[in-house]
């Protein structure tokens, strides 16, 4: 009898642990540490050397680590005072790639800027960058009904537009790459006219509303979680309606999508996925986190400065970029 009881207790403990791992608690959301007061933060990326690279709204590029803060602007680089740095990615050789009014590469010593004047890229508006396992640089180079996406292998430029490829429309809102090196792109033509494209080697697949199981109003950014599922934000900022009954976030597993919504008023500007698959949503007033079961919402902490970037650092802390510096959870 004692042996049976012991087995039952061990089984209960194992089941409890398994449930705990399947449903992790949200990250600590007590953001007491503030850095870079006075800087309008638009993007954040981490390299493998202990540096944080921070893009700003017309205040340059910031290199931040425990020993130094280095600002690159028009005084000491080719980054102009009018440049908005929308996205940053770091390749395996620690080259920093910057999206702004062109594509900028920084190798730690010198800067190189690629534009329509000195490269084949179709548009000088770069909003999203992603780097695959072979260090190919994939980026958007598009506006409404103009341009497309570009693949750069450090020697050759491959430009994809609706005229020379299977792209359904021109404007690429966001690019991300999954664990199998598939390239995913979110496209918008107009509201309620959106597409997801997957490029797998030379095979192209376009996903429409019928594939997703709902009609996205307007796609925001997309990211990949640990299960290799596509997660995306739905942007309602172009709507004239005060309320919206559609989903704010979706998760697509290749066959069907789960639509998530925590209210019908808040406009989610972007999402970020942490290493526990919590979905962090940046809003004008703060953020919301979905942990797979419930929403944790903070609409007051950053109400005065708004949230423009959320990233998880290598030490698992969450960095929130705002209109007035970066806040880090403790």
pLDDT band of residue 30 (cuts 50, 70, 90) is: confident
Among residues 64, 55, 155, 63, the alpha carbon closest in space to that of 109 is found at 63
The total domain count for the chain is 1
Bridge-based pairing state of the strands 279-283 and 268-273: antiparallel
Give a yes or no: residue 94 inside a domain: yes
CB 46 within 8 A of CB 62: no
C-alpha–C-alpha distance, residues 161 and 142, integer Å? 9
28-42, 139-153, 182-196, 248-262: segment of lowest average pLDDT: 28-42
> Is the pLDDT reported for residue 2 higher than 90?
no
Q: Which domain holds residue 256?
A: 31-329
Q: What is the pLDDT of residue 242?
A: 86
The per-residue pLDDT of the chain, averaged, comes to 92
Residue 67 lies in a domain: yes
- Please indicate, yes or no, if residue 23 is contained in any of the structural domains: no
Going by pLDDT thresholds of 50, 70 and 90, the confidence category of residue 59 is very high
CATH assignment at residue 277: 2.130.10.10
In a domain, 210, yes or no: yes
Q: Considering only residues 19 and 173, tell me which one the structure prediction assigns the higher pLDDT.
A: 173
User: Is 70 exceeded by the pLDDT of residue 23?
Assistant: no
Look at residue 12 in the predicted model and tell me its pLDDT. Answer: 42
| Per-residue H/E/C for the chain | CHHHHHHHHHHHHHHHHHHHHHCCCCCCCCEEEEECCCCCEEEEEECCCCCEEEEEECCCEEEECCCCEEEECCCCCCCCCCCECCEEEECCCCCEEEEECEEEEECCCCEEEECCCCCCCCCCCCCCEEECCCCCEEEEEEECCEEEEEEECCCCEEEECCCCCCCCCCCEEEEEECCCCCEEEEEEEECCEEEEEEEECCEEEEECHHHHCCCCCCEEEEEECCCCCEEEEECCCCCCCCCCCCCCEEEECCCCEEEECCCCCCCEEEEEECCCCCEEEEECCCEEEECCCCEEEECCCCCCCCEEEEEECCCCCEEEEECCEEEEEC
Is residue 8 one of the residues assigned to a domain?
no
Say if residues 294 and 306 touch (Cβ distance below 8 Å): no
Tokens 């597993």 — which residue? 253
In a domain, 180, yes or no: yes
Rounded mean pLDDT, 164-177: 97
pLDDT category of residue 6 using cuts at 50, 70 and 90: very low
What φ, ψ does residue 140 adopt, rounded to 5°?
Answer: -80, 145
Considering the domain boundaries, does residue 11 fall inside one? no
**pTM of the complete model:** 0.90
Q: Is residue 74 part of a domain?
A: yes
Whether 26 has a pLDDT exceeding 60, the answer reads: no
Q: What distance in Å separates the CA atoms of residue 266 and residue 287, rounded to the nearest whole number?
A: 10
Amino acid 10: pLDDT: 42
Share of the chain above pLDDT 70, in %: 91
């Amino acid at each position: 009898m004692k042996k049976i009881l012991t087995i039952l207790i061990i089984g209960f403990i194992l089941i409890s642990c398994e449930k705990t791992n399947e449903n992790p608690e949200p990250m600590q959301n007590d953001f007491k540490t503030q850095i870079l007061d006075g800087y309008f933060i638009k993007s954040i990326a981490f390299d493998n050397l202990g540096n944080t690279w921070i893009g700003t709204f017309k205040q340059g590029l910031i290199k931040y680590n425990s020993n130094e803060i280095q600002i690159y602007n028009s005084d000491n680089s080719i980054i102009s005072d009018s440049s908005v740095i929308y996205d940053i990615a770091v390749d395996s050789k620690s080259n920093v790639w910057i999206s702004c009014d062109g594509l900028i590469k920084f190798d730690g010593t010198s800067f190189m800027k690629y534009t329509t004047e000195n490269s084949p890229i179709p548009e000088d508006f770069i909003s999203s960058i992603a780097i695959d396992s072979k260090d190919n640089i994939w980026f958007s180079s598009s506006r409404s009904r103009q341009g497309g996406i570009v693949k750069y292998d450090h020697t050759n430029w491959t430009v994809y537009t609706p005229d020379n490829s299977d792209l359904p429309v021109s404007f690429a809102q966001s690019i991300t790459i999954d664990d199998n090196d598939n390239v995913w792109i979110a496209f918008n033509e107009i509201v309620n006219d959106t597409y997801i494209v997957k490029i797998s080697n030379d095979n192209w697949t376009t996903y429409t509303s019928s594939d997703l199981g709902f009609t996205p109003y307007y796609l925001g950014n997309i990211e990949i979680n640990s299960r290799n599922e596509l997660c995306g934000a739905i942007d309602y900022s172009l709507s004239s309606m005060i309320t919206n009954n559609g989903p704010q976030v979706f998760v697509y597993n290749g066959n069907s999508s789960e639509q998530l919504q925590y209210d019908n008023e808040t406009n989610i500007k972007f999402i970020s996925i942490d290493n526990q698959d919590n979905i962090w949503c940046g809003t004008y007033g703060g953020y919301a986190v979905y942990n797979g079961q419930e929403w944790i919402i903070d609409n007051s902490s950053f109400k005065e400065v708004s949230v423009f970037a959320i990233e998880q650092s290598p030490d698992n802390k969450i960095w929130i970029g705002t209109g007035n510096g970066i806040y880090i959870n403790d």
